[in-house]
Structure 1
């Protein structure tokens, strides 16, 4: 991933300057831009779902149903992402953004640049994934 000059400048800041006003402003802008992008795409998906015409032969209807199912899954994922973005913006407002909700430790600029909605530091995320893997294994999903 190529980093913008602004992102490079943030990464060059001292660790004790973590989540300063400039960093918070950067992530707020980035989250707002992503929110606008996702909302626009979600509108396109909803319009596409609404535009599907019923009719035609059995194969046409099956293709339309499959495409609609995929569009609904996409809309669901994007709706969840919008909720995560709203939560991240709220954490910025409350002064909690950039800190792990499990440990309270910094999530890290590198991780936030890749996933600005992250709520867990890398170690906590790995523990969560191990618990999920263990749970799915014990259920026989694997």
Structure 2
């Protein structure tokens, strides 16, 4: 085991917590949402998981427990298809099943990956600093974020 490896107990507890949050989120029993933070908010690492919860007042949220006032929330839909994966899928299924498998393989291998982002502008609790926070989220997560405001 390496120097920076965590113990099996810690890993198991982390996974248990993650599974529990996902289960609660799936049934709508939470007033928070876990999203992928691309960047923009000081004190929170880029490319990390960000917990967003409902604030005390209207138009306020807590980002990893830090209170902010949201001044804008915008969703930008974006997606891309992987031509490489489509080709691999077409060749693989084409070899296994014949010509019709190539068509199905291309469709399955090249399915669209959702790269949509949410742009949230917010100010700190004193209203002094304004930040633009970028979050990776699909339409469902965007709706959940908007419902927290």
TM-score norm. by structure 2 comes to 0.28
TM-score norm. by structure 1 comes to 0.29
Higher strand share: 2
Higher helix share: 1
